[in-house]
Amino acid sequence: MSGPGGVRGAPAHTGPEPRDERAAKREPVGREPMGRAGAGRGDRVSHVRVRDLAVVLETRTVLSGVGFEVRGGDWLAVIGANGAGKSTLLRALAGVLPCSGEVLVDDTPVRRLRARDRARLLAYAPQAPALPVDMTVFDYALLGRTPYIPYLGRESRRDREVTASVLERLDLSSFASRTLGHLSGGERQRVVLARALVQQAPVLLLDEPTTALDLGHQQQVLELLDRLRLADGLTVVTTLHDLSLAGQYADSMMLIAGGRVAASGTPAEVLTERLIGEHFDARVRVGTGAGGRPQVHLERP
C-alpha cells in the first residue's frame, strides 16, 4: 500500500477473493461479447497506466502527481471525500479536461490521440449525463458508435446491430423505442451503461454509476457491470461514494485526498478505520464480509 504521496496503484488479483473464483460464481452472459469488437475473455485485455497526472483549473491545482496501474480485466475503485478530485480524475483520463502527465492504454499514450481514436480505447460515462428527454433509448445508445461513424456520414448496419445486441444483453430491448424521459432511475443508469458499452472500448471509466439509486438498483447495476467485465475482459475504473460497495466489487482501490493519492492497494488495505477516520472525518467500524472483503459500518460518536 502506498502512503501519502504514493502514486502506484495495487496490482490486480490481490483482493481477498480471486477473480477466477468470482467469475465461477456468476452465470455466463450467454451472448456474444460486445464490450469490444470481437472481444472475448480469451483475447488480450487492456491495462491502464497513469504517470504523474496533474490537473490545473484556472489557477487552482485540483490533482497533482497522481499515478496508478490497472491490470487488464481488473476493476479499480477510486474513493475519497467530496471535492477530493475523483470526478476530475476520470474526466482527465477521458480527455474531457486538459491535464499533464501520461495516460497509457496498452502502452499507447492516449493524450496524443485524436478524440475519435481515444474514444475507441476509453469509454466514459459521467455522473450526471445530459439525457434528452425526447430521445429514444435506442438512439441514445447509438451515440456510442460516434467514434466509428465517418464525418457527415450515417450509422451503418453494423452500428445498429452492435447497439441492438448491447440493449439485449442489458435487458433493454423492450425499451428501445421508449423515450428517456419515461424511464426510472435504474433504467436510466442501464441506458448510460449501454451507451458506454456500444462504444466497444476495452476500458470503461464510470463516474458514480450508482448515484441516486436505491439499494436494490445499486446492486443490480454493479452486478451487471461485474458480469460484463468478466465476460468481455473489460478494464473498469469507477468512482464510488459507498465504501462497502466499492470494497465488495473492486479488485483494487485508490484513495484520493487533497488532489493526491493518499493510499492504494487491495480493498482490505485501503478500507481501514484509520484511513477512513483521517480522510472522511467519520467514525467507523470495519468488519469482514463474505470472501474476506471489508464492510464499513458507521458508528455514532
Residue 77 CA from chain centroid, whole number? 8
Indicate if the pLDDT at residue 12 is higher than 90. Answer: no
Q: Are strands 252-257 and 75-79 parallel, antiparallel or unpaired?
A: parallel
**Is 216 a domain residue?**
yes
Output the domain CATH number for residue 67.
3.40.50.300
The predicted pLDDT at position 80 comes to 97
d(CA 152, CA 164): 23
Indicate if the pLDDT at residue 8 is higher than 70. Answer: no
Compute the average pLDDT of residues 263-281.
97
Indicate if the pLDDT at residue 213 is higher than 50. Answer: yes
**Is 247 a domain residue?**
yes
Contact 50, 213 (CB under 8 A): no
**Is 21 a domain residue?**
no
* Nearest in space to 195 (alpha carbons), one of 111, 131, 152: 131
Give strand pairing partners of 205: 124, 237
* Nearest in space to 138 (alpha carbons), one of 181, 91, 94, 174: 174
What is the reported pTM?
Answer: 0.85
Contact 267, 240 (CB under 8 A): no
**Burial (Cβ within 10 Å: 0-12, 13-18, ≥19) of residue 126:** middle
Contact 70, 235 (CB under 8 A): yes
φ/ψ of residue 162, rounded to 5: -60, -45
Indicate if the pLDDT at residue 76 is higher than 50. Answer: yes
> For the chain, how many structural domains are there in total?
1
d(CA 138, CA 115): 23
Q: Are strands 60-70 and 48-57 parallel, antiparallel or unpaired?
A: antiparallel
**Is 37 a domain residue?**
no
Opening angle at CA 249, ends 243 and 252, nearest 5? 80
| Residues 125-174 pLDDT 10s | 998 888 999 999 999 999 999 999 998 889 999 999 999 999 999 999 99
Contact 17, 292 (CB under 8 A): yes
The predicted pLDDT at position 151 comes to 87
Indicate if the pLDDT at residue 203 is higher than 80. Answer: yes
Domain that holds residue 205: 48-298
User: Which cell numbers hold the place of 278?
Assistant: 483521517
Contact 266, 275 (CB under 8 A): no
Opening angle at CA 144, ends 102 and 186, nearest 5? 100
Indicate if the pLDDT at residue 301 is higher than 50. Answer: yes
Contact 125, 205 (CB under 8 A): yes
d(CA 138, CA 155): 13
**Is 14 a domain residue?**
no
Residues 6+ positions from 267 with CB-CB distance below 8 Å: 15, 16, 77, 246, 247, 250, 252, 253, 293, 294
